[in-house]
């Protein structure tokens, strides 16, 4: 596909680039409900991934934002964009098409994220190994939690000021101020905070079978998703409209990775410590590295 650059008027001005299981779905809804922001109908377009939608071409991607009207900011949210090395070359493709794009990277305690990622795959039927096997032997889990490694691949192509790092923990415990920081980064009115900010969306721990799954399947063709996409994409995009998977914000205080054996947690911490230490250099002063480094 030609990597011709689009114009500022018809392509996204920002991307939420991940991380998976770090709160990107909630952020997607806080963004789409701001009246100066347009989000693609389907949350995860995965356009810059060759194994997904890159082959559909720039005109297809441009069409996903055709309803933006006078929106000041246009965006999409694809967690595959920070799944190197499973999906390689993404930052270079983004830079070739959207050199001035702003990016939001949502991160979460990396061990908690791995546990949630694991539970997500178990619920999909894609993972059957016990956590002490899967989390240590499947490198995808660890790679998605190596935030410095993922970020530095973007910094090879973009200046640091084009990337906003958002801690998922702040999105939970100090949501209004955190979301307002995102709005300011995108150049929209941070004072216009939608009511939906009081809701947390699509939490793995509370997810149950979807009574609307048949309806979602019937909508599949209308959205023209690639065959490799799961019904989750339609669930994500429907949240807030159909009211099926909104959850109240959880109480804070308990460790979210308490389900992992202490020995497994320590092994994962050892594997992540160097990356977290590097990542701390990019975060604001006072960031404690989740107690890992």
Q: What are 49-59's pLDDT values in tens digits?
A: 999 999 999 99
Cα–chain-centroid distance for residue 119? 17
In CATH, the number for domain 14-210+246-284 is 3.40.50.300
| Tokens encoding 102 | 């702003």
275 burial type by CB count under 10 A (0-12 exposed, 13-18 middle, 19+ buried): buried
Structure confidence at residue 249 (pLDDT): 40
Q: Is the pLDDT of residue 221 over 80?
A: no
Indicate the pTM of the whole model: 0.83
Q: Is the pLDDT of residue 201 over 80?
A: no
Domain boundaries, given as residue ranges, for the chain: 14-210+246-284
Given a contact cutoff of 8 angstroms between Cβ atoms, the answer to whether 273 and 144 are in contact is: no
Q: Is the pLDDT of residue 43 over 80?
A: yes
The Cα 94–Cα 110 span in angstroms is 25
Residue whose pair of structure tokens reads 């997607």 in the numeric block: 28
What is the rounded radius of gyration, in angstroms, for the C-alpha atoms of the chain?
A: 18
More confident residue, 268 or 243: 268
Given a contact cutoff of 8 angstroms between Cβ atoms, the answer to whether 113 and 204 are in contact is: no
């Amino acid at each position: 596909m030609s990597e011709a650059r689009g114009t500022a008027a018809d392509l996204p001005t920002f991307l939420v680039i991940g991380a998976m299981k770090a709160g990107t779905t909630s952020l997607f809804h806080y963004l789409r409900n701001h009246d100066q922001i347009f989000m693609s109908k389907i949350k995860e377009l995965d356009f810059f991934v060759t194994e997904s939608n890159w082959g559909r071409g720039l005109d297809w991607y441009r069409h996903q934002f055709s309803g933006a009207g006078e929106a000041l900011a246009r965006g999409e949210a694809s967690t595959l964009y920070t799944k190197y090395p499973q999906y390689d070359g993404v930052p270079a493709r983004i830079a070739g098409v959207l050199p001035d794009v702003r990016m939001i990277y949502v991160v979460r305690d990396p061990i908690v994220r791995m546990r949630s990622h694991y539970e997500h795959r178990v619920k999909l039927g894609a993972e059957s190994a016990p956590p002490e096997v899967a989390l240590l032997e499947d490198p995808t889990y660890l790679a998605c939690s190596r935030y410095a490694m993922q970020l530095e691949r973007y910094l090879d192509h973009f200046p640091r000021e084009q990337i906003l790092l958002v801690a998922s923990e702040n999105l939970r415990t100090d949501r209004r101020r955190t979301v307002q920081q995102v709005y300011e980064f995108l150049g929209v009115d941070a004072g216009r905070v939608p009511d939906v900010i009081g809701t947390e969306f699509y939490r793995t721990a509370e997810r149950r079978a979807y009574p609307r799954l048949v309806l979602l399947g019937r909508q599949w063709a209308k959205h023209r998703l690639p065959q490799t996409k799961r019904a989750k994409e339609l669930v994500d995009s429907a949240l807030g409209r159909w009211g099926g998977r909104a959850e109240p914000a959880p109480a804070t205080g308990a460790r979210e990775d308490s389900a992992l054996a202490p020995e497994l947690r320590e092994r994962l911490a050892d594997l992540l410590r160097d990356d977290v230490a590097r990542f701390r250099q990019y975060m604001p002063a006072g960031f404690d590295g989740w107690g890992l480094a």
